[in-house]
Structure 1
């Protein structure tokens, strides 16, 4: 095996294929096309003089040499990302790119107005938003900052609790008017998949044995489905209370809520551009949630008891 001429870019492609188990999955994670991944893997195998993958109908499976290579390359990856974080952490320039990951509802409704004002104050910092439910790995520099919902953030990350998202049951005015019964088990429900397990658990506690008429992995989609009159949904008050075509139909027992965190990796917390985003967004998001919470307290139950 001749690994001396293998470069890090080729090894990154190798890691992506090993983790995805397919060329298409690796291409998506790397943001390149299928043929590029194919060429890079073929070139790496030729350079190293060994076959790293078995090409099976079900996907790419590591050979014995590939398994051995994977362990070594993962250690190299850890060293490279540690070096990257260490160097980036000493960067004092208020310029460059800061990558933020957030789920769709936060990226669509909470971040835009604040980022517009941030750009006025820091025109040299380019913000890149990655929207998705997947928890990107900050230790591998897949993202610089993460806006995450949950009451127990990962211990490996540092950051700020910016507030608490409170949830309630919402529906379209037309739907609530045509379904006035306060027995929530009689209603159609919009549910969530496993990506939003805490919300799913709350709905099941509120209406035991419920089988939603429709499900989504996206809170933004659930908002749209509720607005279309497809049923009731548990939604964040910070978003749903601001929608004129949604009304709060019922409260959740115990005032259910989830903490909102703005997190980064410890090695990056002193990077000037990342610290600038962190320090700007923290009070801005906190104030947004407090304002909405104050207005939310004035909302009343819109479902009426059946005759």
Structure 2
């Protein structure tokens, strides 16, 4: 004889007891875990909580693995992957993201950290391009001082301003060395040549399989690509610095645009004096108008 404790019934043999458990509403069995629950609700709770199951309680559907379940959530539900929560509506998910994550409510995009979100909000997607390039015959507008300076340093402005000319203009403007290291700006000071050292490679840079930079040993497929690398600021002196006098962090940069990006990102304590520093960089940028003309 076989006996069911929950139903207090006897059965002639074990097979009869198994059939009873499978058919009775008093038994809700998880075949994978070999566990019996009093109610179907408890069984569903088990499926949803156990790592052995990949179960969507909203759809009452099982999936083969965790990745397939997450893909289902993202396709068919309002799902926050970071918090692993499902919301009843797009508005519910939107409000959750707005209150709990680094989130742009206008674009409905998530960002990994606050700095990335700030940079996005300052980008052309939101900020107005209201800073004109002072270069002759240019007329381009930029959303930030960093974007303008990068444009001038790149040598693509019709005014033909170069990075060396930008550095020289900074040396003339920043006489108190607020943002520059005087020991590394010698070439741009009084009596200096006004140009940094120019380095280029020849066919001798071929190492048998690629053109190799003798400074950092990076390899390039063409001599032109190697010389573009050497002409970049990759190996230039870090002549710019985040000013400690403005509660900056003292970080050093090889280009003015990199310093501007650092200040605008508010990554260090200089953010508390950001408006003062922005005014200083704004005056510097305006001073380049004479350079570009």
- Length-normalised TM-score, structure 2: 0.29
Give 1 or 2 for the bigger CA radius of gyration: 2
Structure richer in strand, relative to its length? 1
Highest relative contact order (Cα 8 Å, sep 6+), 1 or 2?
A: 1
